[in-house]
Structure formats: C-alpha cells, structure tokens
Amino acid sequence: FWKMKRGIATFAKRTSRTYSTRSVTSREFRGVFPPITTPFKDDAKQSIDFEAYKKNVKFYSQKSNKLSGLVVLGSNGEFPMLSLDEKLQVFKSCHNTVYVDEKRDEEFKLIAGTGSCSTSETTFLTQEAAKIGYSAAMIVTPFYFTSKMNDDLLYNHYKTIADAVDPFPLILYNVPPFAGNIQISLKVVNKLLATTKNVVGIKDTSGNITYITQLCQLRDKLVQEDPKRNFSVLAGSASCFLPSLVCGADGAVMAFADLFPKELSHLYETYKSATNNTNKNDQHLTHFVLSRSMQSA
C-alpha cells in the first residue's frame, strides 16, 4: 500500500510547449494536504501501479477525512524518479479519480508537483496540470548545479514560469534538505510577490520557525496593502505543524498526513476553532490543542 522503491530516474525527452488559459476560481490554500505516494509494481520496469494508486486516492478523497486536498507528485510521490509521460499519467489519473469517480467539487483542491531542474520542462508540466484542471502547481527549487544558484537565478526561474502560466496559481516549494540546501530567501519571495499575481503560497520544509514567522509577516503585509491578494504559508512537516500554526501558518503539506489524515485535520480544525474564540494566542493554547487532539485520536 505504501510502496516507495524506485531508485533510478528515467530521463524524459524534451517536448514542445503549450499555453494554458485555465480560469482560476480560488487562490487560498488552507488546511491539511497529504503529499500522496506513488505505488509501483514488482515487475522488471517497476511500472506505476495505477490500480493501487486509484485505491489510495479514493481513500484520501473521502469527505470523512476532512482534508483540504491532495498534493500529487511531491517528494513523497517520488517525482524525480518518473519520466515526463509517467508524470502526466499520474496527474490525469488522480484528477479523474477525485472529480469523476468520487465526484468531489473544486473546494477539494489538487496541487500538482511540477518542479524540475529545467525551467522549460517545469513550465510545460505546469501548463499541462492547468489544462487537466488542477488547482495549483507546487514548484520545488532546481536541485542540480546548486553551487551556482543565487537569488537572481532563482527569481528568474520562478518569474519565467509564473509569467508563462499566468493566471494559474503557483506554490513555491522550499525544501533545502532534499534540494542541495537551496533556500528560497525572503528577498526572492518578496520580489516575486511584487512582480507576479499568481504566486499564491509557499510550502516550507526547512523546519525554521523564524523563517515561517517571517513568511507570515510578508503575507500579512501583502494582504494589508491589497485585500484581494492572498499568500498561503504551509508547513512542510508534522514536527513543525503546530508551532507553525501558532506563528500564523495557513496549514500544512506533510507526509504524516498520509498515515493520519483525519487526526491531523482534526488538530488543524481544533486549533482554528480555539483561535477564533480567543482574543490572543497564549502559552496555554498549545496544551489545549494537544490535549483535545490526543483525546480524539
């Protein structure tokens, strides 16, 4: 059920670009989003087990889990190990299962992991995800030639993609431990927010609570200056989920939600309910949320 084993990447040939004109209905991403796994068969090619994949997607799509949506081909989905064609097949399979088989509406969001080391390939995959009908794309930092990466190059990478797929929403993916220690600096985030309209969030897996707090401050400033704008700050691991919420994060994309979707959704809802009924977060709030979540687990 949780098989993750493919260890050798398949290289995809370059494909011609297309352009997406998909309309955007909602740019807010709040709550819990599990980055679902990609199961593989035990055959010689280690081909994708789409029967098992659809079974997993149907489980996560159940309303009783109270998830806000799914991340398809994040790190947990082993995106670097798939060919271009395999990625597109996975995108289509998940979208069809959620919206056709399970009949979920657009409030249940699908986020496509479209990042790669190539700006042109990332742009192509993002355009394809938009055409299929995804809610947004989550784009990891380029993770090769990392010693040559700097703020200007990283900004140009994201700005090029954002312009090419506008108005399709993009979520930045900051994951230094898996991406050669490349960090999306606050300078880059701020510059992207100033020069684009479709960069609508960030997933941070650095575990740096100070960084999360600063991202939330950037979001608050953005919304204060333009109430029509939104920038969702999403924690990237269960270990910093609750501290990130205390700092103002909007939710999380975390592998632990693959195992405990309902429990983590309940933790999120309990926290939000508590903050909505108190004037200020205080030192006792964390203990309250933890005790409530443990009683229901």
Q: Which of 203, 211, 268, 271 is catalytic?
A: 203
Q: Which of 53, 60, 158, 173 is catalytic?
A: 173
- Give strand pairing partners of 174: 204
What is the C-alpha separation between 274 and 267, in angstroms, rounded? 11
b/e string for 88-105 if b means 16 or more Cβ within 10 A? bebbebbbebbbeebebe
What is the C-alpha separation between 253 and 30, in angstroms, rounded? 10
The backbone torsions φ and ψ at residue 244, rounded to the nearest 5 degrees and listed phi first, read -65, -40
204 contacts 234 by C-beta, under 8 angstroms = yes
The number of CA neighbours under 13 Å toward the Cβ of 138 is 31
Structure tokens at 48: 């994708």
What is the C-alpha separation between 110 and 70, in angstroms, rounded? 5
Estimate the share of the chain in helix, then strand, then coil, as percent rounded to the nearest 5: 50, 15, 40
Task: Say whether 173 is catalytic.
Answer: yes
What is the C-alpha separation between 44 and 33, in angstroms, rounded? 32
The number of CA neighbours under 13 Å toward the Cβ of 173 is 27
Structure tokens at 145: 């030639």
Residue of 185, 124, 229, 4 whose CA lies nearest to 221: 229
Task: Say whether 203 is catalytic.
Answer: yes
* Residues recognised as catalytic: 173, 203
